[in-house]
Amino acid sequence: MQLPELYLIHPAAVHFPIALLLTGWLACAVSRRAEWLPNAASWLLWLGTAAAWAALGLGLLAEETAPHVPPAWRTINLHETLAWWTAGVFTVLSLWRWRLGRRREGIFLVLWLAAGGLLIATAYEGGELVFTHGMGVEAE
């Protein structure tokens, strides 16, 4: 049995940071409603950040090994740049949460929301690669 090419996992892996980080923001935003929500929000942030790095690594592998579509190169570069920024910003937020806890929660929530916008922009560009440029889609 031959293992699948690892770059084929990238489309599945990208959904984890999206789900974890956006759900984490929501948990953080309503964390005053239940005692357990702040811890849940922290764990969603940390797991989502780790998932973002995993998706980025698989995306870099895909960039090196997946068949390329020349008109998509500008979009690939933008998608990669946004992915690096997204993973980096969420890493900073994760370190903030780990070191400072819930201090300056209002500022933290606004920054997390802005990072969520960066995450959505990254996902949008990934969608452009598939649905506009046909990256990873075989013509029949």
67 has pLDDT over 80: no
97 has pLDDT over 90: yes
> If 0-12 CB within 10 Å is exposed, 13-18 middle and 19+ buried, where does residue 33 land?
exposed
Which CATH topology does 6-132 take?
A: Four Helix Bundle (Hemerythrin (Met), subunit A) (1.20.120)
Distance (Å, whole) CA 131 – CA 46: 30
Distance (Å, whole) CA 92 – CA 136: 32
Mean pLDDT of the chain: 91
What is the pLDDT confidence band of residue 1, given thresholds at 50, 70 and 90? low
2 has pLDDT over 70: no
3-state secondary structure 65-89: HCCCCHHHHHHHHHHHHHHHHHHHH
> If 0-12 CB within 10 Å is exposed, 13-18 middle and 19+ buried, where does residue 111 land?
middle
Average pLDDT over residues 42-64: 95
State residue 69's pLDDT score.
77
State residue 115's pLDDT score.
98
In 1-140, DSSP assigns E strands to none
pLDDT one-digit tens code per residue, 68-86? 778 888 999 999 999 999 9
114 has pLDDT over 70: yes
pLDDT one-digit tens code per residue, 5-14? 777 899 899 9
